[in-house]
Amino acid sequence: MEAALETIKQYFHAGGNGLKKTYVEKSPELSKLKYTLSLYSQSTDALIKTFVTTQHTQVHNEIGIRITPSEKVWPERGSGAEKSIGEAQIQIDMVPPGKDKIHKVNIRVIAVNDMKWQTSGMFRPFVELNMIGPLLTAQKRKFTTKSKNNSWTAKYNETFQFILGKESPDCYELQVTVKDYCFGRANRVVGVAVVQLRDVADRKSCVCWCPLGRTIQKDETGVTVMRILSQRVADEVAKDFVKLKDETRPVEEGR
């Protein structure tokens, strides 16, 4: 990679007839190219870690998630999120690591409130939880709740445990996807939310009130990571990650 970059610099310098070497070396375009090329050489785990630690505005520009000590304590203000299509209520309990230094986290899906969803048939919402981060290949990364029949405010009260490994919780995020269960065809996305564990790790136990968005938003680094991982067709972790971050609420909703 360094040899390729040196060739590029020499090309634009053109033996003294082109751009000055110092200008090329300090140009933001070259720095950007160098960073992008470095991503291509990273492992899948490293790329996912890069995504989690750089993408802090994936849903509603990270506006609207409110955190309270328990479900009995309601937020003092509204979410402030524009065009919210529902709100997931999730309890997160961080389990202190033992002698093995393994981090664990318990997630309780309390409810999903005030869902906006039009359908001509039965509405059967359920919640899919995905833990995203490095070194999770050998761990269970996805759990789903049971579905509820025709409930636009659905209570679940189901608890699941994720094992993170020895990496810092700052490298992980929980993606909450509410879906409409459809027999005989693909389940449809009602809405999605992302909770980054760095925002709750010091609280030990808390409840997150997460406004649902239609899709995941990404900046240039996020898009580059997605593009690289989408090419790793034989890597199941990469494929699952790309599929998760590409899921979008359909325009036609449940009709």
Mean pLDDT of the chain: 88
Closest to 51 in 3D by CA, of 217, 231, 232 = 217
Task: Quote the CA–CA distance of 224 and 36 in Å, as a whole number.
Answer: 7
* pLDDT > 90? residue 199: yes
- 152 or 6: whose pLDDT is higher? 152
Q: Are 31 and 150 contained in the same domain? A: no
Coil, strand, or helix at residue 27?
coil
When computed from its CA atoms, the radius of gyration of the chain, rounded to whole angstroms, is: 21
Task: Quote the CA–CA distance of 111 and 109 in Å, as a whole number.
Answer: 6
Q: Which domain holds residue 28?
A: 2-40
Closest to 144 in 3D by CA, of 172, 113, 181 = 181
Q: Are 138 and 32 contained in the same domain? A: no
Q: What does the pLDDT look like over 12-34, one tens digit per residue?
A: 555 655 555 665 566 676 677 77
Q: What does the pLDDT look like over 60-104, one tens digit per residue?
A: 887 788 999 899 888 877 766 777 799 999 999 999 888 888 899
Task: Quote the CA–CA distance of 190 and 169 in Å, as a whole number.
Answer: 28
Q: What is the mean pLDDT of residues 200-218?
A: 93
Q: What is the mean pLDDT of residues 163-167?
A: 86
Helix (H) / strand (E) element for 48: namely helix 44-54
* pLDDT > 70? residue 154: yes
Answer yes or no: is 29 within a domain: yes
Distance of alpha carbon 186 from the chain centroid: 21
Q: Are 194 and 238 contained in the same domain? A: yes
Task: Quote the CA–CA distance of 41 and 38 in Å, as a whole number.
Answer: 5
Q: Are 117 and 159 contained in the same domain? A: yes
The model carries a pTM of 0.87
Answer yes or no: is 50 within a domain: no
Answer yes or no: is 64 within a domain: yes
- CB-CB contact of 81 with 60 (8 Å): yes
Q: What does the pLDDT look like over 44-69, one tens digit per residue?
A: 999 999 999 999 999 988 778 899 98
Q: What is the CATH number of the domain that holds 195?
A: 2.60.40.150
188-196 β-sheet, strand order: 142-144, 125-132, 173-180, 188-196
* pLDDT > 80? residue 146: yes
Identify the residue whose tokens are 């494929």: 239
* Structural domains of the chain, count: 2
Task: Quote the CA–CA distance of 233 and 174 in Å, as a whole number.
Answer: 24
Q: What does the pLDDT look like over 110-144, one tens digit per residue?
A: 999 999 999 888 999 999 999 999 999 999 999 99
Cβ of 26: how many Cβ atoms within 10 Å?
Answer: 10
Q: Are 17 and 109 contained in the same domain? A: no
Q: Are 33 and 121 contained in the same domain? A: no
In the prediction, which pLDDT does 5 show?
A: 60
